[in-house]
Amino acid sequence: MPQETPRMCVILVTGLSGAGRSSALRILEDVGFEAIDNLPLNLLETMIDEGGAERKVAVGVDIRTRNFAVAPFLQQLDTLENRDDLDLKLLFLDCDAEVLSRRFTETRRRHPLSQDRPLHDGIMAERRLVFPLRKRADYVIDTSSLTLGALRQQMVGQLGLSEGSGMAIFVTSFSYRLGLPREADLVFDVRFLTNPHYVQDLRPLSGRDAAVVDYIATDSAFEPFFEQLTAMLRPLLPRYESEGKSYLTIAFGCTGGRHRSVALAEQLAAWLTDHWGKVSLVHRDIDRESQRERAANPAKPDPQKTLKDEQ
């Protein structure tokens, strides 16, 4: 039986200015990729041709890249994707306009398209310009609410950067007050479960704590829900994988993103680890309350380093 020809792995990282492209490239570098930012597009194929099949390369591309234009770039993607010696993927980093405005304002950096117009207009102009890239992308990650650590875990989960093959699964919890994760494939609203927030001793804890988990488990709806959830996933997961899906994102939401959604995400991640093996877990909003408290009291430093610090 002939051996499969090894292919060079190339991830092109693009997206909106300020959405975290530089951070994503550093993450890819940390997991073994050779990271190159703003390589002139006319040198892209030359760089690839000079490499060997054993190389893993991540290239950052945005509107500031020399020779960048959307239509020629898409044509270049078509050419590269037809090569048998390449495993090429396009990662697009998205972000809310309001969050981008805040990041540029706080870091005092100028948006590349706001030289002669208001910042918000520049952001929206870029969004329209690069929309075809978002539509074409193999992976889209919304960084609006992500810390650097959460971005790392999400990239590992969605891009399948962890060891092993097959479909990678990413499980996350979130707060409905702060919006649904845009990248989620399956979303489960667990606000129907008993809320530990109203128990004084449990309020400062999270769904990672045994006392909170035990309290939620006393709800008569908890066990039937989890049993039906896993019964549904058993046949779905192999079907998703057989259709060529490289990653699956499962999200649990509750009001504050701290108790019920966290407990369910933890429990499902443990079940998936036993039955599937390739699982990444992130609690997107578990510390949002404490972050708001720190914002109200600037004397206390914020230990969470966020994406805006990297812009």
Q: Is 286 annotated as a binding residue?
A: no
- 302: in domain: no
Q: Answer yes or no: do 114 and 191 share one domain.
A: no
**Higher per-residue pLDDT: 252 or 44:** 252
Query: Residue 31 sits in a domain of what CATH number?
Result: 3.40.50.300
- Indicate the average pLDDT of the chain: 85
Q: 280 by DSSP, 3-state: which? A: strand
Q: Is 113 annotated as a binding residue?
A: no
Q: Categorize the per-residue pLDDT at 284 as very low, low, confident or very high, splitting at 50, 70 and 90.
A: very high
| Residue 304, pLDDT score | 46
Q: Which domain holds residue 263?
A: 168-295
- 310: in domain: no
Q: Answer yes or no: do 94 and 215 share one domain.
A: no
Q: Answer yes or no: do 90 and 193 share one domain.
A: no
- 161: in domain: no
- Output the pTM of the full model: 0.56
Closest by Cα among 157, 44, 43 to 91 = 157
**Higher per-residue pLDDT: 182 or 304:** 182
Single-letter amino acid code for the residue at 98: E
202 with 212: CB under 8 angstroms?
yes
What is the number of domains present in the chain?
Answer: 2
Cα angle: 191, vertex 251, 89; to 5 degrees: 165
- 158: in domain: no
Q: Is 251 annotated as a binding residue?
A: no
| Residue 295, pLDDT score | 56
Single-letter amino acid code for the residue at 97: A
Residue with tokens 């530990």: 196
Q: Is 55 annotated as a binding residue?
A: no
Q: Is 147 annotated as a binding residue?
A: no
Q: Is 17 annotated as a binding residue?
A: yes
pLDDT in tens, 56-72: 899 998 887 777 788 88
Q: Answer yes or no: do 175 and 286 share one domain.
A: yes
pLDDT in tens, 202-242: 999 999 999 999 999 999 999 999 999 999 999 999 888 87
